[in-house]
Structure 1
């Protein structure tokens, strides 16, 4: 949500440097951003006056400094027209200051009375936007606060497709209903890769491979698998925290979302590592809280543990993140190796009847198509209509990450995920000897990662499915 105050003054904002690849073009027509989906300070979302668009409007508190902040995307740098839809049932002007990326762009923009709170009018301002993501804040400048804010529309700035990286187009993500939604409040599907354990395969996560993942594979998201045991974080917390910091920055440079994976596996009860997790996530969230591309995964594969224990862990670790980063999405592994309990002889009702007491979270599900077929598939299909789900790990092989590929059942899963707009990351982006690693053995010793000559069959298959055009709605 955003602050408000607007005026017709024009300010020049330097265009942000483009990141190295383009995502699927979208329409350059005016894009509407609902105020209720913005960042709000000292205001509330209401729906008690008819005529609004979307699900409601923002009622500013009657104080100076209350604001609504929209995150918008411009296809190109230059002049753009902002159109604010509002209602003001008083006779007094309720001016707002409009800032773009922290710089005043419109001083005391007038929002005159409209005659009734159900009568909606528009006010426009012309500003310069940077190419890519911009923060537009509208801030009240009098003790009366601002008008009721319904929406902001941003024109296309002269036409042309909306291009950019996944992060440039989608901005800050949030959970809406049971979907992962972009800055426009539209459900999206992210597709990408998971690293193997960074304690073993850091040589596969370097400049050349990440460039290939972003530009050749056209991935939307990188999952960084940081094991806790097995020579991982527990053995040297400082080293692995610093490695994670670096990978977050590298994904950010390339315009990809980054999933910080707390890869607990054995012991299967995540509470065994709770103290370590609190230390790690407090530092990660504090440093990266202002990034729009970060997602936290607080438990990889809880196993041989009850859902009640997993829920207890989640309700202790999520507040640690929220204390630093109140807005980013948090993922949580589910019992039964993240199968909603199916692989432990339970089912999704454990979760549905006792959900985690937190907002803006998603529950994760893992499948390996040669092992996890009808029972797991059906559970996923049912559950994804009830709670927010993300597939943080899947393979076309058996659950060992090895063996023959079942591409037919894998495609059945991916068709379901596409239909329900459920995001996924594939296991794994390494040259491990098993069939689930996408690169042939020895590939990571070099710097050639584009094309298919260095890929195993599973790598060719998943690369083709990541490269298909994204569907990132903006209007």
Structure 2
């Protein structure tokens, strides 16, 4: 595909506001949920080891909060009663007025449930945020302990909310579980080919305000999405400017997707420079941490090269064969996606073809190649290449639009439908660009929508948003036998 000027947003076109990983809110399930219950447990009423109950910072609930001692091993332990054994979601409300992460290890009845869960800076001790993690509870009393893992101790802890009965009928990640590549298809835990459909965020350095509980609730429940692509640019004001901040944002978005039963597609959005090898040291650091922290989840997919360009297929292959083992060392089961040459066009935009890949495939397993198209620009030649490649290679469309390759201009819904019909018939998954209120026609929300809290229905959507939402609302059958 041609070079992508659309991604180089300016401050005039997009908000540069840095926001913490979004707080959690209870989802309203589109499918019929299992009966749910939420209980609140105030930290000041829990068992405390090396910490004090205080009330000198505004915004807490109950009678105060726990200020951990600055010591590794300090902890707060809650006693939580569950009517039946099963899955639950823990949400811890906290404040961290320091500049450093103050991670907590979470155990349930003495067994590790989440190691070094991040509790990143909230900006002030009176600014409260939440962190979530899924656990499994036993019937009856459960001891849930949050233990500081560093010498700085834990954050100020206000309370623990426990939501039981959180498994919901039909949620994509609950039904399909750990994915794997079987032949040319993406298969679920039952070995059955499936098609995942969802949305890609815009660059989170510009549009993080569009990725928040209300919008993600709408995506999961009103739109019926299966997957959230988390688009983290490397350059253009992204990861390289503040690796800690952007890694923590991605951690938070993974937790948000997990809470809603969505797959989290972690996108290393390299674009300029187009050779992914230029960023390989940064990629190693980033994916090592992401895979290490989330390796026990079954809903993580790793997209290690967004749109390689002005680089040979041999160069991309070399990069992939170095990066896939980095992820495998932490998460042996994780599916990996690899971008193809020519801006994800299987080489067509570089004057090449998918034959480069067929003749020289990546030496690895459990991975897929990615393809991008913008229907108003990429028609017969690109469609033919995808058709040929899909018969021989495992393909996932990690980015497409109904407009031109700039992400703007008129929508070609007819040719878009031609693509989507082919993808459905061949069980090829897709994520649409983009889940924001950017001024371009490819952004699904009308300008200004992300400042509010209403993301459901069609009234907040541009024509492209109405079109893609409608096509997401008829789910794959997700076979289990």
TM-score normalized by the length of structure 2: 0.67
Displacement after TM superposition at 1:468 (Å): 1.1
Distance 1:77 1:163, change over 3 A: farther
Within 5 Å, which residues of 2 pair with 1:73-92?
Answer: none
Displacement after TM superposition at 1:232 (Å): 0.1
Please name the residue that 1:188 is paired with: 194
Please name the residue that 2:215 is paired with: 209
Within the alignment, does 1:371 sit opposite 2:377 as a pair? yes
1: CA distance between counterparts of 2:460 and 2:195? 27
2: CA distance between counterparts of 1:190 and 1:21? 18
Please name the residue that 2:441 is paired with: 435
2: CA distance between counterparts of 1:342 and 1:171? 34
Displacement after TM superposition at 1:19 (Å): 7.1
Would you say the 8 A contact 2:375–2:412 is kept in 1?
yes
1: CA distance between counterparts of 2:346 and 2:206? 29
Within the alignment, does 1:266 sit opposite 2:299 as a pair? no
Please name the residue that 1:179 is paired with: 185
Displacement after TM superposition at 1:22 (Å): 5.1
Please name the residue that 2:29 is paired with: 21
Please name the residue that 1:339 is paired with: 345
Within the alignment, does 1:400 sit opposite 2:406 as a pair? yes
Within 5 Å, which residues of 2 pair with 1:152-301?
Answer: 163-301=169-307
Distance 1:282 1:463, change over 3 A: same
2: CA distance between counterparts of 1:171 and 1:245? 19
Would you say the 8 A contact 1:268–1:302 is kept in 2?
yes
1: CA distance between counterparts of 2:31 and 2:406? 33
Would you say the 8 A contact 2:30–2:222 is kept in 1?
no
Alignment match of 1:355 (pick from 343, 354, 361): 361
1: CA distance between counterparts of 2:277 and 2:175? 37
Displacement after TM superposition at 1:77 (Å): 8.8
Would you say the 8 A contact 2:374–2:402 is kept in 1?
yes
Deviations 1:392-420 (A, max 9, x none): 00000000000000000000000000000
Please name the residue that 1:307 is paired with: 313
Within 5 Å, which residues of 2 pair with 1:132-151?
Answer: none
Please name the residue that 1:141 is paired with: none
Would you say the 8 A contact 1:258–1:295 is kept in 2?
yes
Q: Which runs of 5+ in 2 are unaligned?
A: 1-25, 34-83, 87-110, 112-136, 139-167
1: CA distance between counterparts of 2:185 and 2:414? 26
Alignment partner of 2:443: what SS? coil
2: CA distance between counterparts of 1:186 and 1:21? 25
Within the alignment, does 1:473 sit opposite 2:479 as a pair? yes
Distance 1:415 1:77, change over 3 A: farther
Would you say the 8 A contact 1:20–1:254 is kept in 2?
no
Alignment partner of 1:428: what SS? strand
Displacement after TM superposition at 1:385 (Å): 1.0
Alignment partner of 1:268: what SS? coil
Alignment partner of 2:431: what SS? strand
2: CA distance between counterparts of 1:24 and 1:366? 34
Please name the residue that 2:458 is paired with: 452
Would you say the 8 A contact 1:285–1:321 is kept in 2?
yes
1: CA distance between counterparts of 2:321 and 2:209? 35
Within the alignment, does 1:382 sit opposite 2:388 as a pair? yes
Alignment match of 1:329 (pick from 332, 335, 338): 335
Alignment partner of 1:203: what SS? helix
2: CA distance between counterparts of 1:207 and 1:254? 10
Displacement after TM superposition at 1:470 (Å): 2.4
Would you say the 8 A contact 2:27–2:217 is kept in 1?
no
1: CA distance between counterparts of 2:318 and 2:337? 15
Displacement after TM superposition at 1:21 (Å): 2.7
2: CA distance between counterparts of 1:22 and 1:228? 35
TM-score normalized by the length of structure 1: 0.67
Displacement after TM superposition at 1:164 (Å): 2.7
Would you say the 8 A contact 1:296–1:330 is kept in 2?
yes
Displacement after TM superposition at 1:20 (Å): 4.8
2: CA distance between counterparts of 1:190 and 1:222? 10
